[in-house]
Amino acid sequence: MRVWERGSGETLACGTGACASVVAAVLNGYFNKDEDITVKLLGGDLVIRYTDEAVLMTGECEKTFEGVVEV
């Protein structure tokens, strides 16, 4: 899946978009509920599971920035 965010351009990943894509795919009959579905993104794979109770997302994480903002 490729992600384009208004104001930022292409980004490496989007968990919300991956979850929404899996829910839409299940509801349209491409996949079944209660199974792990891998969504491939530029920043790495996310595994999404859509059940009657929840949408679960699993994947690697990496710290990419640390900073301080003065207000």
The tens digit of pLDDT for each residue in 18-60 reads 999 999 999 999 999 999 999 999 999 999 999 999 999 999 9
Distance CA 34, CA 24 (A): 14
Domain residue limits, the chain: 3-59
3-59 maps to CATH 3.20.20.80: no
Torsional sign, CA 5, 8, 11, 16: negative
| pLDDT for res 62 | 83
